[in-house]
Amino acid sequence: MTRPTSLRAIAALLLVALIVATGCATKGARPTATPIVPAPALAISHASVPASDPATLAELDRVLAGSHRSDANRARDIYRHPRATLEFFGLRQDQTVMEIWAGAGGWYTEILAPLLREHGRYIAANWDPNSDLKVVQDSVAAFRTKLEGNPGLYDKVSVSALQYPGALNPVPAASVDVIVTFRNLHNWLARDEAALAMLKAMYAALKPGGVLGIVDHRADPAAPRDLKARNGYVNESYAIELAKAAGFEFAGASEVNANPKDTRDYEQGVWTLPPTWRLGDKDREKFAAIGESDRFTLKFVKPRGH
Protein backbone atom coordinates (compact mmCIF):
# COMPACT_ATOMS: atom_id res chain seq x y z
CA MET A 1 0.00 0.00 0.00
CA THR A 2 1.18 3.51 -0.78
CA ARG A 3 1.74 5.65 2.28
CA PRO A 4 -1.20 8.02 2.95
CA THR A 5 1.00 11.06 2.42
CA SER A 6 2.04 9.76 -0.99
CA LEU A 7 -1.54 9.01 -1.92
CA ARG A 8 -2.55 12.53 -1.10
CA ALA A 9 0.32 13.88 -3.17
CA ILE A 10 -0.55 11.74 -6.18
CA ALA A 11 -4.24 12.52 -5.87
CA ALA A 12 -3.57 16.24 -5.85
CA LEU A 13 -1.41 16.02 -8.93
CA LEU A 14 -3.78 13.76 -10.87
CA LEU A 15 -6.87 15.74 -10.03
CA VAL A 16 -5.18 18.81 -11.46
CA ALA A 17 -4.38 16.78 -14.56
CA LEU A 18 -8.03 15.83 -14.98
CA ILE A 19 -9.07 19.44 -14.35
CA VAL A 20 -11.54 18.51 -11.67
CA ALA A 21 -9.82 20.31 -8.83
CA THR A 22 -10.93 23.73 -7.68
CA GLY A 23 -8.99 26.77 -6.66
CA CYS A 24 -7.18 27.49 -9.92
CA ALA A 25 -6.98 31.23 -9.35
CA THR A 26 -3.59 32.82 -9.35
CA LYS A 27 -3.93 34.24 -5.86
CA GLY A 28 -0.97 33.15 -3.79
CA ALA A 29 1.34 32.65 -6.77
CA ARG A 30 5.01 33.02 -6.02
CA PRO A 31 6.38 35.80 -8.22
CA THR A 32 10.09 36.15 -8.64
CA ALA A 33 12.30 39.02 -9.65
CA THR A 34 13.96 36.88 -12.33
CA PRO A 35 13.66 38.77 -15.62
CA ILE A 36 11.87 37.14 -18.53
CA VAL A 37 14.45 36.29 -21.15
CA PRO A 38 13.40 35.43 -24.72
CA ALA A 39 14.06 31.86 -25.82
CA PRO A 40 17.70 31.60 -26.88
CA ALA A 41 18.82 30.87 -30.40
CA LEU A 42 19.23 27.25 -31.41
CA ALA A 43 21.76 25.67 -29.11
CA ILE A 44 22.70 22.87 -31.50
CA SER A 45 22.87 22.38 -35.23
CA HIS A 46 19.73 21.32 -37.08
CA ALA A 47 21.93 18.78 -38.87
CA SER A 48 22.26 16.77 -35.66
CA VAL A 49 18.50 16.61 -35.06
CA PRO A 50 16.43 13.94 -36.86
CA ALA A 51 14.10 15.37 -39.50
CA SER A 52 10.82 14.04 -40.83
CA ASP A 53 11.05 12.46 -44.29
CA PRO A 54 8.56 12.77 -47.19
CA ALA A 55 7.29 9.20 -46.72
CA THR A 56 6.46 9.88 -43.07
CA LEU A 57 4.65 13.11 -43.91
CA ALA A 58 2.63 11.38 -46.64
CA GLU A 59 1.64 8.61 -44.23
CA LEU A 60 0.81 11.21 -41.59
CA ASP A 61 -1.54 12.95 -44.01
CA ARG A 62 -3.26 9.63 -44.67
CA VAL A 63 -3.66 8.91 -40.96
CA LEU A 64 -5.02 12.39 -40.22
CA ALA A 65 -7.68 11.88 -42.89
CA GLY A 66 -8.56 8.40 -41.59
CA SER A 67 -12.13 7.42 -40.75
CA HIS A 68 -10.99 6.10 -37.34
CA ARG A 69 -10.73 9.66 -36.06
CA SER A 70 -13.91 11.10 -34.58
CA ASP A 71 -15.37 14.34 -35.89
CA ALA A 72 -14.77 15.91 -32.48
CA ASN A 73 -11.08 15.00 -32.51
CA ARG A 74 -10.62 16.05 -36.12
CA ALA A 75 -12.23 19.44 -35.34
CA ARG A 76 -9.40 20.18 -32.91
CA ASP A 77 -6.72 19.93 -35.60
CA ILE A 78 -7.06 23.67 -36.21
CA TYR A 79 -5.84 24.26 -32.65
CA ARG A 80 -3.44 21.34 -32.14
CA HIS A 81 -1.79 21.32 -35.61
CA PRO A 82 -0.63 17.70 -35.41
CA ARG A 83 1.11 17.57 -38.79
CA ALA A 84 3.19 20.70 -38.33
CA THR A 85 3.90 19.86 -34.69
CA LEU A 86 5.20 16.36 -35.40
CA GLU A 87 7.18 17.62 -38.37
CA PHE A 88 8.82 20.24 -36.15
CA PHE A 89 9.81 17.50 -33.71
CA GLY A 90 11.39 15.62 -36.64
CA LEU A 91 9.32 12.49 -36.08
CA ARG A 92 9.76 9.61 -38.53
CA GLN A 93 7.60 6.54 -38.99
CA ASP A 94 10.53 4.17 -38.32
CA GLN A 95 11.26 5.53 -34.83
CA THR A 96 10.40 4.39 -31.33
CA VAL A 97 8.18 7.15 -29.99
CA MET A 98 6.87 7.46 -26.43
CA GLU A 99 3.99 9.74 -25.55
CA ILE A 100 3.76 10.82 -21.91
CA TRP A 101 0.25 10.79 -20.45
CA ALA A 102 -1.76 10.05 -23.58
CA GLY A 103 -4.83 10.20 -21.33
CA ALA A 104 -7.99 8.13 -21.28
CA GLY A 105 -9.08 9.31 -24.72
CA GLY A 106 -5.72 9.14 -26.48
CA TRP A 107 -6.12 12.08 -28.90
CA TYR A 108 -2.58 11.75 -30.21
CA THR A 109 -2.73 7.94 -29.89
CA GLU A 110 -5.14 7.97 -32.82
CA ILE A 111 -2.39 9.60 -34.87
CA LEU A 112 0.85 8.13 -33.57
CA ALA A 113 -0.18 4.49 -33.21
CA PRO A 114 -1.21 3.95 -36.85
CA LEU A 115 1.62 6.17 -38.11
CA LEU A 116 4.24 4.02 -36.36
CA ARG A 117 2.48 0.65 -36.59
CA GLU A 118 4.32 -0.87 -39.56
CA HIS A 119 7.83 0.53 -39.30
CA GLY A 120 8.27 1.96 -35.80
CA ARG A 121 6.92 1.58 -32.29
CA TYR A 122 4.47 3.63 -30.23
CA ILE A 123 4.65 3.55 -26.43
CA ALA A 124 2.00 5.21 -24.27
CA ALA A 125 3.47 6.01 -20.86
CA ASN A 126 0.34 6.70 -18.84
CA TRP A 127 -0.56 6.56 -15.17
CA ASP A 128 0.47 3.69 -12.90
CA PRO A 129 -2.08 0.83 -13.18
CA ASN A 130 -1.04 -0.37 -9.73
CA SER A 131 -2.32 2.80 -8.09
CA ASP A 132 -5.04 2.49 -5.45
CA LEU A 133 -6.69 5.68 -6.72
CA LYS A 134 -9.97 5.18 -8.57
CA VAL A 135 -9.31 8.18 -10.82
CA VAL A 136 -6.15 6.44 -12.04
CA GLN A 137 -7.79 3.05 -12.40
CA ASP A 138 -10.66 4.52 -14.43
CA SER A 139 -8.29 6.33 -16.78
CA VAL A 140 -6.14 3.23 -17.31
CA ALA A 141 -9.25 1.14 -18.00
CA ALA A 142 -10.67 3.67 -20.46
CA PHE A 143 -7.43 3.77 -22.44
CA ARG A 144 -7.26 -0.02 -22.51
CA THR A 145 -10.86 -0.15 -23.78
CA LYS A 146 -9.94 2.28 -26.56
CA LEU A 147 -7.05 0.11 -27.70
CA GLU A 148 -9.06 -3.10 -27.55
CA GLY A 149 -11.86 -1.50 -29.56
CA ASN A 150 -9.72 -1.22 -32.71
CA PRO A 151 -7.01 -3.90 -32.80
CA GLY A 152 -6.36 -3.23 -36.47
CA LEU A 153 -4.81 0.08 -35.43
CA TYR A 154 -3.75 -0.44 -31.84
CA ASP A 155 -2.66 -4.07 -31.55
CA LYS A 156 1.02 -3.11 -31.49
CA VAL A 157 0.75 -0.29 -28.95
CA SER A 158 2.96 -0.75 -25.89
CA VAL A 159 1.58 0.63 -22.63
CA SER A 160 3.80 1.54 -19.70
CA ALA A 161 3.68 3.90 -16.72
CA LEU A 162 5.45 7.14 -15.91
CA GLN A 163 4.17 8.80 -12.78
CA TYR A 164 5.71 10.70 -9.90
CA PRO A 165 6.19 9.54 -7.26
CA GLY A 166 6.68 5.86 -8.00
CA ALA A 167 6.75 4.69 -11.61
CA LEU A 168 9.74 6.49 -13.11
CA ASN A 169 11.18 3.77 -15.35
CA PRO A 170 8.65 3.29 -18.17
CA VAL A 171 11.16 1.73 -20.60
CA PRO A 172 14.77 0.51 -20.58
CA ALA A 173 17.31 3.32 -20.49
CA ALA A 174 18.36 4.87 -23.81
CA SER A 175 15.73 2.94 -25.82
CA VAL A 176 13.50 5.70 -27.25
CA ASP A 177 14.10 8.00 -30.24
CA VAL A 178 11.42 10.64 -29.55
CA ILE A 179 9.34 11.55 -26.50
CA VAL A 180 6.36 13.88 -26.79
CA THR A 181 4.07 15.31 -24.15
CA PHE A 182 1.14 17.61 -24.76
CA ARG A 183 -0.30 19.99 -22.14
CA ASN A 184 1.06 18.08 -19.15
CA LEU A 185 3.96 20.13 -17.82
CA HIS A 186 1.60 22.50 -15.98
CA ASN A 187 0.22 19.50 -14.05
CA TRP A 188 3.67 18.46 -12.85
CA LEU A 189 4.52 21.99 -11.79
CA ALA A 190 1.77 21.75 -9.19
CA ARG A 191 4.42 20.00 -7.07
CA ASP A 192 7.90 21.45 -7.26
CA GLU A 193 9.79 18.18 -7.47
CA ALA A 194 7.44 16.40 -9.88
CA ALA A 195 8.32 18.29 -13.07
CA LEU A 196 12.07 17.82 -12.76
CA ALA A 197 11.67 14.16 -11.75
CA MET A 198 9.48 13.46 -14.79
CA LEU A 199 11.88 15.26 -17.14
CA LYS A 200 14.84 13.34 -15.76
CA ALA A 201 12.97 10.08 -16.34
CA MET A 202 12.39 11.11 -19.96
CA TYR A 203 16.05 12.01 -20.32
CA ALA A 204 17.03 8.54 -19.11
CA ALA A 205 14.61 6.87 -21.54
CA LEU A 206 15.91 8.70 -24.62
CA LYS A 207 18.79 7.52 -26.77
CA PRO A 208 21.68 9.95 -27.09
CA GLY A 209 20.63 12.41 -29.79
CA GLY A 210 16.97 11.67 -29.07
CA VAL A 211 14.32 14.40 -29.12
CA LEU A 212 11.92 15.61 -26.45
CA GLY A 213 8.93 17.65 -27.66
CA ILE A 214 6.85 19.66 -25.20
CA VAL A 215 3.64 21.58 -25.89
CA ASP A 216 1.87 23.51 -23.14
CA HIS A 217 -0.24 26.56 -22.38
CA ARG A 218 1.99 29.64 -22.56
CA ALA A 219 1.93 32.21 -19.76
CA ASP A 220 2.13 35.92 -20.44
CA PRO A 221 5.90 36.56 -20.60
CA ALA A 222 5.37 40.04 -19.14
CA ALA A 223 3.61 38.70 -16.04
CA PRO A 224 5.39 37.62 -12.85
CA ARG A 225 6.36 33.97 -12.98
CA ASP A 226 4.03 31.54 -11.25
CA LEU A 227 6.28 28.52 -10.89
CA LYS A 228 3.32 26.31 -9.98
CA ALA A 229 1.27 27.35 -13.02
CA ARG A 230 -1.87 27.68 -10.91
CA ASN A 231 -3.95 29.03 -13.79
CA GLY A 232 -2.65 26.35 -16.15
CA TYR A 233 -0.26 28.64 -18.02
CA VAL A 234 3.48 27.90 -17.97
CA ASN A 235 6.25 30.45 -18.38
CA GLU A 236 8.09 29.43 -21.54
CA SER A 237 11.56 30.43 -20.39
CA TYR A 238 11.01 28.53 -17.14
CA ALA A 239 10.05 25.40 -19.12
CA ILE A 240 13.33 25.71 -21.02
CA GLU A 241 15.26 26.12 -17.78
CA LEU A 242 13.67 23.00 -16.30
CA ALA A 243 14.48 20.86 -19.32
CA LYS A 244 18.07 22.09 -19.26
CA ALA A 245 18.26 21.27 -15.55
CA ALA A 246 17.28 17.70 -16.46
CA GLY A 247 20.21 17.55 -18.88
CA PHE A 248 18.60 18.48 -22.20
CA GLU A 249 19.91 20.90 -24.79
CA PHE A 250 17.42 23.39 -26.19
CA ALA A 251 16.99 22.77 -29.92
CA GLY A 252 14.35 25.30 -30.89
CA ALA A 253 10.85 26.71 -30.51
CA SER A 254 7.95 26.88 -32.94
CA GLU A 255 4.95 29.17 -33.02
CA VAL A 256 2.79 26.57 -34.78
CA ASN A 257 0.48 26.27 -31.75
CA ALA A 258 0.34 29.98 -30.92
CA ASN A 259 -2.99 31.73 -30.47
CA PRO A 260 -2.75 35.55 -30.14
CA LYS A 261 -6.46 35.73 -29.24
CA ASP A 262 -5.78 34.09 -25.87
CA THR A 263 -5.68 36.84 -23.21
CA ARG A 264 -4.90 34.42 -20.33
CA ASP A 265 -7.01 36.38 -17.85
CA TYR A 266 -10.01 34.15 -17.28
CA GLU A 267 -12.01 33.44 -14.16
CA GLN A 268 -11.14 29.75 -14.19
CA GLY A 269 -7.74 29.95 -15.82
CA VAL A 270 -6.99 28.13 -19.03
CA TRP A 271 -9.78 25.68 -18.28
CA THR A 272 -12.27 28.44 -19.10
CA LEU A 273 -11.47 27.93 -22.79
CA PRO A 274 -12.37 24.98 -24.97
CA PRO A 275 -12.12 22.04 -24.82
CA THR A 276 -12.84 22.17 -21.05
CA TRP A 277 -15.47 24.97 -20.90
CA ARG A 278 -15.33 25.16 -17.11
CA LEU A 279 -17.91 27.98 -17.04
CA GLY A 280 -20.39 25.90 -19.00
CA ASP A 281 -22.60 28.06 -21.21
CA LYS A 282 -21.52 31.34 -19.62
CA ASP A 283 -19.95 33.55 -22.33
CA ARG A 284 -19.58 30.45 -24.47
CA GLU A 285 -19.64 32.35 -27.76
CA LYS A 286 -16.90 34.66 -26.52
CA PHE A 287 -14.62 31.79 -25.56
CA ALA A 288 -15.45 29.85 -28.71
CA ALA A 289 -14.27 32.85 -30.73
CA ILE A 290 -10.96 32.75 -28.85
CA GLY A 291 -10.53 29.02 -29.35
CA GLU A 292 -8.06 26.85 -27.50
CA SER A 293 -5.13 28.28 -25.58
CA ASP A 294 -1.96 29.95 -26.80
CA ARG A 295 0.74 27.27 -26.59
CA PHE A 296 4.50 27.07 -26.84
CA THR A 297 6.05 24.20 -28.77
CA LEU A 298 9.57 23.37 -27.63
CA LYS A 299 12.14 20.86 -28.87
CA PHE A 300 15.03 19.53 -26.83
CA VAL A 301 17.76 16.99 -27.53
CA LYS A 302 19.64 14.59 -25.28
CA PRO A 303 23.32 15.27 -25.99
CA ARG A 304 25.23 12.56 -27.80
CA GLY A 305 27.71 10.74 -25.60
CA HIS A 306 25.29 10.75 -22.62
Identity of the amino acid at 207: K
Residue 278 lies in a domain: no
With CA atoms as reference, report the closest residue to 241 among 103, 71, 50, 35.
35
Banded pLDDT at 30 (limits 50, 70, 90) = very low
What integer is the mean pLDDT of 149-154? Answer: 96
Q: Is 27's pLDDT higher than 80?
A: no
pTM of the model: 0.86
90 found inside a domain: yes
Q: Which residue range forms the structural domain that includes residue 216?
A: 82-262+295-301
Q: What is the mean pLDDT of the chain?
A: 87
Q: Is residue 273 part of a domain?
A: no
B/e letters for 277-306, b = 16+ CB within 10 Å, e = fewer, are ebbeeeeeeebeebebbbbbbbbbbbeeee
Looking at the 3D structure of the chain, how many domains does it have?
1
91: in domain: yes
Residue 58 lies in a domain: no
Residue 179 lies in a domain: yes
- Spatial separation of the C-alpha atoms in residues 10 and 231, rounded to whole Å: 19
Q: Which CATH number goes with the domain that contains 151?
A: 3.40.50.150
Residue 162 predicted with pLDDT over 80: yes
Is 283 among the domain residues? no
In a domain, 190, yes or no: yes
Given a cut of 60, whether residue 48 has pLDDT beyond it is: no
